[in-house]
Structure 1
Amino acid sequence: MTKNILCFGDSNTWGLNPITGKRFDENTRWTSLLAKNLGCDFTIIEAGQPNRTLVHNPPFDGVLNGVSYLKPYLERYDIDFIIIALGTNDLKKRFNLTPILIADGLNDLISSIHGYYEQSSTLQAPEIIIASPPKITITEQYSRIFEGADIKAIELSNEFKCVAANNKCDFIDLNAFTNVFGGDGIHFESSQHLTVSFEITQLVQELLKTP
């Protein structure tokens, strides 16, 4: 039976090209590569959204926070895995959030997922994979928007790891195999999408082997 994997994230999940500002094609972005890596027994649901946050709704961008947009996917699909890749946009200076407060937003999102499935007598809760936000390099392009975010991002990864452990979720540290020193300092370049897809593929395959 085909397994459904929901990739729920921000612009790095959507596949924003840091050079052109447009979307990488299906041969480049990590979500599409994940589908190719895992094969026909898996359906990858690409649910990336630029500017999506865990805590606040970005001004002028409508309701983009995670809790508001996740439920429709849970209602529509029978999901086996949810990969949550959020947190970077919460580091923007205007939100003035500490890593602990952002991690609280992640905890709330996970609790919302658990609560949704606890109310159902027929649906089985999916396995949740938390991806840490990548480290940030402050470039001229985003220097005012993400001022101080490079320091917070390192602590945020540690906080997310703790939230994952406390909620018995799986955790993958994107900082272990990616960097954003090139491009705009925020978004993955094409080679990093390839690496992320490979590492997440490995994790999913390992989890499927675990009884």
Structure 2
Amino acid sequence: MRNVLCYGDSLTWGYSAEGPSRHDYADRWPSVLQAALGHQAVVIAEGLNGRTTAFDDHLGGADRNGARALPVALVSHAPLDLVILMLGTNDMKPFICGRAIGAKQGMRRLIDIVRGTTYPLGAEPPEILIVAPPPLSETADPDFAAMFEGGVPESEMLASFYSELADDTGCGFFDAGSVVETTPIDGVHLDAAGTRALGKAMEPIVRMMLGL
């Protein structure tokens, strides 16, 4: 039995722009991945709305700094065979960072945390799969358009930056934007069909990294 931790933001939590609401459990991409892997693995969804790679955002009721929360998640869910890191969308907010290069450096920090954590019972650090979130899209929603002002072109660079980072650090890489697009309702999130498609598309690389 393999253990997989999906560490992300609202795309992992399952935020639906329609409503807004939360996608049904079966539609969220970690749930779809779990169904595809069956009894060969346990897929743990650890998503938080607004989570960044490594930047503070005090607008939410929970700590959104991914670097600060990651060690607790790693140790509490250990032993782990694979950690899937899909963050960077919220880094595109201009009052957070606003630059793809900042998200790349934040993702590098998360990799260092995964590999530098002391795991219970002497367990080895898990493998890491970096997932570039799908680029932002233009939206008529005034709040989301303002919140992510200038973020569309920056978000389009995330896949390239993350791919280079994966090569440099020996991590796996998957480009979510190669299979799904963000909904124009808010320009940020996935509809139900998109989040299901993402979970299914990630099955082959996850199987390969787990040796299944």
Taking structure 2 as the reference length, the TM-score comes to: 0.92
1:54 aligns with 2:53: yes
Identity %: 28
Against the structure 1 CA distance between its residues 168 and 120, is the aligned structure 2 distance closer, same or farther, given a 3 Å change threshold?
A: farther
1:175 aligns with 2:194: no
Q: SS at 1:128's partner residue? A: strand
1:153 to 127, 152, 155: 155
Q: Which residue of 2 is the match for residue 82 of structure 1? A: 83
Q: Which residue of 1 is the match for residue 164 of structure 2? A: 162
- Alpha-carbon contact 2:79-2:120 (below 8 Å) kept: no
Q: Which residue of 2 is the match for residue 104 of structure 1? A: 105
Q: CA deviation at 1:59?
A: 2.3
- Alpha-carbon contact 1:54-1:65 (below 8 Å) kept: yes
Q: CA deviation at 1:121?
A: 7.4
1:40 aligns with 2:39: yes
- Alpha-carbon contact 2:183-2:189 (below 8 Å) kept: no
Unmatched runs of 5 consecutive residues or more in structure 1: none
Q: SS at 2:16's partner residue? A: coil
After TM superposition, the structure 1 = structure 2 runs for residues 1-211 of structure 1, keeping only pairs within 5 Å, are: 2-61=1-60, 62-76=62-76, 77-117=78-118, 122-141=122-141, 142-209=144-211
What is the RMSD computed on CA atoms of the aligned residues? Answer: 1.7
Taking structure 1 as the reference length, the TM-score comes to: 0.92
Q: SS at 2:147's partner residue? A: coil
CA deviation vs aligned residue, 1:92-148 (integer Å, no higher than 9, x gap): 12124321122111101111111115x877211111000002111121221100111
- Alpha-carbon contact 1:3-1:41 (below 8 Å) kept: yes
Q: CA deviation at 1:63?
A: 2.0
Q: How many residues align?
A: 208
